[in-house]
Structure 1
């Protein structure tokens, strides 16, 4: 099968499309013919050698990709609830930039007919991280939450989920992305000097919760805005967690969590914006696009 992988750490150019043996579904797994695979900043960090996911080892040549959509074409004899031809979406760590992925049945859910392949390929990773974060921070009806990097992958999902749960959302973003945030029902605020005062002027009754998906500067600002540090969380600035006394948040994926995201999509409470779509042969350009840090929405690989 065709995969996109890298054999040494480095810039996007270390990625190459290559052929490897087709995987086969074992007893408790299914094989999925991949239609699309989301691209995450996570993938870029692994490719550069900046980070390796806990419990995983990079083995060259290493395939990337942590979320996918596609069609089941093999079903293990112990698998229940799925059959050949089912359209699904799900996750498998560092394996999805590929024509086929083999996964356990508890890592997939059925794709709604209304959801495009590209949308289905990008909901799992950022969506579940956002859902985990809001759940850990206890976001609910009547809360006002400040989301840093609200136009990014996790931020966009978090903003919409929080509103579905009854919260009001203020989101930091560059001015270029403010109209997009407004279209999602988010009150936008610009990064940079004076952020704390700008946020306070927008939330006269105060901010109850803060979610940082931007980094240290945003997290430090949150300390001055949210009284209860237990309701401040970060998905990126883990080096400051102990010093600041805030929550480190790492995604906890489950089919129940993914099914809830799909249900929100079906109810019209979760929209997914595809910023750009690239064929797998253009994986280098796709990684470059993610690493620009500009724009909003998700970047996705399509695999024929």
Structure 2
């Protein structure tokens, strides 16, 4: 029987278990995929604790962890075009990624380029696609300056690289421990904390043209004052506060076209998913603990044996 890593109720790590689970059956517009790799994200443990995405239904328990995966199509559901059994794909999951089999919806599934590993592909649908949507939403011309708060996190690392690929200058806040890392991405590092706006002005004396906030709270309020045009204030971390400051939350497109674009950037060497650790499915608990600890640099991916 195929394996899946699930949470059986809302709560802490004690609710998690590796269980036997039959492969799900693909419905209209769905693909049954034999998982080769699954990305691990902070939202995974937040969902276990009871967080619900806006507009989503309560999780059916037991629920499989994970929202992004890469693998090989085992079966296609009705009304599916452009995909066939045996195709290598990656995308957002319907039935969880920490499993030997999952369902992917065709509208958020892309063909995996041969030059892109399953491991790297599985790290793209959440952080990199969010970053791509955000940088596109900022709509800046080449040569403009983008400030990213939280540039050392998963979305921030991807956003910095994508912005650089688009010809933007990037200034980013990150902890001192990540200073050298973000600098290696071509980011002008600024330490977070009190008097943040003052330090950003020193790092970008010509000003910043847009802000991508990945921190929220006091930092979001501090950097908002740097913008003459508050419509260029975009947040993925504080969707409640950003509208009160004249900005907007990141608009997620969640399309296969976006996945195609981030895959192209990865293949071209302009976007490194920075997968720093991998774990087998049997050690999914360790992978989740590493992300839940909050000090991971780069992405963690679960690899599933073929």
If the TM-score is normalised by the length of the shorter chain, which range does it land in? over 0.9
Contact 1:140-1:162 within 8 A present in 2 as well: no
**What is the rounded CA distance, in whole Å, between the counterparts of 1:15 and 1:52 in structure 2?**
20
What pairs with 1:29-108 in structure 2 (closer than 5 Å)?
Answer: 29-76=30-77, 78-93=79-94, 95-108=96-109
Partner of 1:185: 186
**What is the rounded CA distance, in whole Å, between the counterparts of 1:27 and 1:211 in structure 2?**
36
**What is the rounded CA distance, in whole Å, between the counterparts of 2:24 and 2:261 in structure 1?**
30
Question: For 1:198-218, what per-residue CA distance to the aligned partner results, in whole angstroms no more than 9, with x for missing partners?
Answer: 111111100111111112122
Contact 2:173-2:192 within 8 A present in 1 as well: yes
Partner of 2:298: 297
Displacement of 1:31 in angstroms is 1.2
Change in CA separation of 1:77 and 1:224 when aligned onto 2, cut-off 3 Å? closer
**What is the rounded CA distance, in whole Å, between the counterparts of 2:31 and 2:109 in structure 1?**
9
Partner of 1:129: 130
Gaps of 5+ in 1: none
Question: For 1:39-83, what per-residue CA distance to the aligned partner results, in whole angstroms no more than 9, with x for missing partners?
Answer: 111112111113344233211111121110001122346433222
The TM-score, its normalising length taken from structure 1, stands at 0.94
Displacement of 1:30 in angstroms is 2.1
The farther-off stretch of 115-124 and 5-14 is 5-14
Regions of 4+ moved over 6 Å: none
Partner of 1:216: 217
Cα RMSD for the two superposed structures: 1.7
The farther-off stretch of 108-117 and 64-73 is 108-117
The farther-off stretch of 89-98 and 141-150 is 89-98
Question: For 1:6-25, what per-residue CA distance to the aligned partner results, in whole angstroms no more than 9, with x for missing partners?
Answer: 11112233221111222123
**What is the rounded CA distance, in whole Å, between the counterparts of 1:174 and 1:27 in structure 2?**
46
Local SS of the residue matching 1:239 = coil
Question: For 1:87-126, what per-residue CA distance to the aligned partner results, in whole angstroms no more than 9, with x for missing partners?
Answer: 1111124522211112233322111222222111110111
What pairs with 1:1-304 in structure 2 (closer than 5 Å)?
Answer: 1-26=2-27, 28-76=29-77, 78-93=79-94, 95-304=96-305
The TM-score, its normalising length taken from structure 2, stands at 0.93
